[in-house]
């Protein structure tokens, strides 16, 4: 496709083909993006369209962009999405798999582009800032856990997304929004092809939010190597604020990709959403334990389930944060649906009240019965007991305790747990009431 456009006199600028009068925008496929990352894969370097994995990009270079296999006339895209007022798209992968993928919900922001049928668009009526908060919520472990309970195959269809238990916009007051927005800026705006979006948002936000985003950017710059900064712009390390950069270049500055910082930021957001969904600590731990691929990656790389450990540490640290006052139930007052609270001593020793006396209805004369001769009945054999099937139904959400590995297992997952963790030998599950 690129050879056809090139032979027609078009020039590739970034990942957009242009001539004097027209533009051809990239067509994104779901395998080209990931959570908070619109540069997950590129076709650059391929002479033949591959079936599966794409090449990786150098994400630390904001100028390196994802190259698609196809491009679409910009006029055709605008005609199809004429009701769009933004220069970005909130998109997600339609093709997914909860049993083979580390994460099921893959949501991100894309620059204006065409989309293949393996991805879909979310349109909202809320402000751009609220849309960014929605995006961060959709990428959380809590919502991913909800998706996994609803999805029935390999497609995350629109009707499933529409039915997700999403927190309403008014749940995110000023203080919580200030906690989220700067972090979302760092996670999303890491490349030059999407910087028109934060530039537009920057003009519309209040001064306090600007200060928070500016502080996040300066911290990001301070943790980026001088070499990377100078590769992008020799001036950037000398600028004291985003406004200085805007005034000097007329463009919004990128946040530089840093894997460690991004991991910590996502853990902080997940910890916050755990509180806003009023989860207890053991409920949150149960949700994180339901992502075995993430756990296995962490065990291979770090020797323990690092993701779970750090999210729960941040969850504990946020428990008494003043910004949560009124936004959720205090952690100490939440009641777990996994472990019922123990009865108090008074409840245990309280005598059982006597049954209430039954009302004495007016006696009725017994009907006359004919006298029958008593005939002894032979002893009949007991009916054979019906053996419960071994395979649990997919709708069985009963919680069971595995005494061998001390894990809590949902009823529909017992068979898989027995086969994968205990070589098919029943560990003797205890039902948790």
User: How confident is residue 154, by pLDDT bands cut at 50, 70 and 90?
Assistant: confident
* Residue 106 confidence (pLDDT): 96
Point out which residues pair with 325 in neighbouring strands: 328
- The whole-number average pLDDT for the span 65-90 is 86
Say whether pTM exceeds 0.85.
no
Q: What is the pLDDT of residue 348?
A: 55
Predicted pLDDT at 367: 54
Q: Are 289 and 308 in contact (CB under 8 A)?
A: yes
> How does pLDDT run across 55-76, given as a tens digit for each residue?
999 999 999 999 999 999 999 9
Asked if 401 contacts 411 with a C-beta cutoff of 8 angstroms, the reply is: no
In this prediction, residue 353 carries a pLDDT of: 62
Give the mean model confidence (pLDDT) for residues 343-350: 57
Is residue 392 pLDDT above 50, yes or no?
Answer: no
Distance CA 110, CA 92 (A): 10
- Name which of 175, 95, 101, 96 is nearest 133 in CA terms: 175
- Please give the helix or strand (H or E) that residue 147 lies within, else none: helix 141-150
Q: What 3-state class would DSSP assign to 42?
A: strand
Average pLDDT over residues 226-249: 90
At 176 the pLDDT is 96
How far apart (Å, rounded) are the C-alpha atoms in residues 60 and 57?
9
Gap between the Cα atoms of 419 and 398, Å rounded = 19
pLDDT at position 431 is 83
Per-residue pLDDT tens for 188-212?
999 999 999 999 999 889 999 999 9
- Rounded Cα distance between 72 and 221, Å, is 36
**CA distances to 5, 106, 120, 373 from 70, in Å:** 10, 22, 17, 93
Q: What is the mean pLDDT of the chain?
A: 86
> 198: buried, middle or exposed (CB in 10 Å: 19+, 13-18, 0-12)?
buried
Selected residue with higher pLDDT from 353 and 301: 301
pLDDT higher than 50, residue 184: yes
pLDDT value at residue 53: 87
At residue 232, what are phi and psi to the nearest 5 degrees?
Answer: -80, -50
Percentage of the chain modeled with pLDDT above 70? 85
Out of 99-103, 168-172, 234-238, 425-429, the most confident range is 168-172
What are the helix (H) ranges across 223-339?
A: 226-232, 242-249, 259-276, 281-289, 292-302, 306-318
Confidence of residue 136 (pLDDT cuts 50, 70, 90): very high
Task: Encode pLDDT of 284-328 as tens digits.
Answer: 999 999 999 999 999 999 999 999 999 999 999 999 999 999 999
Query: How would residue 372 be classed by pLDDT, with cut points 50, 70 and 90?
Result: very low
Give the residue with greater pLDDT, 430 vs 161.
161
Residues 146, 144: Cα–Cα separation, whole Å:
5
* Phi, psi torsion values for 221, nearest 5 degrees: -65, -40
Give yes or no for residue 256 having a pLDDT over 50.
yes
> If pLDDT is split at 50, 70 and 90, which confidence band does 359 have?
low
pLDDT at 267 over 50: yes
- How large is the average pLDDT for residues 87-101? 87
Mean pLDDT lowest among 58-62, 122-126, 368-372: 368-372
* Predicted confidence (pLDDT) at residue 47 exceeds the cutoff of 70: yes
Helix (H) or strand (E) holding 91: strand 88-93
Q: What region, left, alpha or beta, does residue 36 occupy, with left being phi > 0 and alpha being psi -120 to 50 degrees? A: left
Question: Is the pLDDT at 408 greater than 90, yes or no?
Answer: no
Burial 222-243, CB ≥16 within 10 A → b, else e: eebeeebbeebbeebeebeebe
CA pair distance 279, 287, nearest whole angstrom: 10
Q: Give pLDDT tens digits for 2-17.
A: 778 887 788 999 999 9
Q: Are 338 and 431 in contact (CB under 8 A)?
A: no
CB 89 within 8 A of CB 124: no
């Amino acid at each position: 496709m690129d050879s056809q456009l090139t032979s027609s006199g078009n020039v590739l600028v970034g990942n957009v083909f242009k001539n004097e009068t027209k533009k051809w925008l990239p067509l994104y496929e779901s395998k080209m993006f990931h959570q908070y990352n619109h540069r997950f894969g590129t076709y650059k370097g391929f002479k033949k369209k591959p079936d599966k994995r794409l090449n990786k990009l150098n994400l630390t270079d904001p100028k390196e962009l994802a190259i698609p296999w196809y491009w679409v006339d910009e006029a055709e895209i605008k005609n199809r999405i004429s009701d769009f007022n933004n220069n970005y798209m909130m998109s997600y992968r339609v093709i997914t798999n909860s049993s083979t993928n580390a994460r099921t919900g893959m949501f991100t922001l894309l620059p204006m582009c065409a989309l293949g049928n393996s991805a879909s668009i979310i349109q909202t009526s809320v402000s751009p800032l609220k849309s960014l908060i929605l995006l961060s919520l959709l990428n959380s472990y809590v919502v991913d856990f909800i998706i996994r309970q609803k999805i029935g195959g390999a497609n995350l269809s629109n009707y499933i997304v529409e039915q997700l238990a999403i927190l309403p916009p008014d749940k995110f007051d000023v203080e919580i929004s200030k906690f989220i927005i700067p972090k979302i800026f760092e996670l999303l705006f890491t490349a030059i092809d999407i910087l028109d979006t934060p530039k537009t948002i920057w003009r519309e936000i209040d001064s306090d939010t600007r200060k928070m985003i500016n502080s996040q950017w300066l911290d990001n710059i301070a943790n980026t190597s001088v070499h990377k900064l100078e590769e992008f712009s020799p001036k950037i390390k000398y600028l004291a604020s985003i406004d200085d950069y805007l005034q000097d270049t007329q463009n919004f500055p990128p946040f530089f990709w840093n894997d460690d910082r991004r991991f910590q930021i996502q853990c902080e957001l997940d910890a916050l959403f755990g509180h806003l969904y009023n989860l207890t600590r053991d409920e949150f731990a149960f949700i994180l334990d339901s992502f075995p691929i993430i756990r296995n990656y962490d065990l291979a790389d770090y020797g323990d389930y690092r993701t779970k450990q750090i999210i729960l540490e941040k969850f504990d640290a946020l428990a008494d944060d003043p910004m949560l006052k009124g936004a959720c139930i205090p952690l100490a007052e939440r009641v777990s649906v996994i472990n019922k609270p123990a009865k108090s001593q008074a409840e245990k020793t309280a005598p059982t009240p006597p049954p209430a006396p039954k009302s004495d209805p007016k006696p009725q004369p017994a009907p006359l019965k004919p006298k029958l001769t008593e005939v002894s009945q032979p002893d009949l054999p007991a009916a054979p007991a019906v053996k419960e099937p071994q395979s649990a139904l997919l709708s069985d959400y009963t919680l069971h305790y595995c005494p061998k590995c001390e894990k809590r297992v949902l009823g529909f997952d017992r068979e898989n747990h027995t086969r994968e963790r205990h070589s098919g030998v029943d560990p003797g599950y205890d039902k948790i009431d």
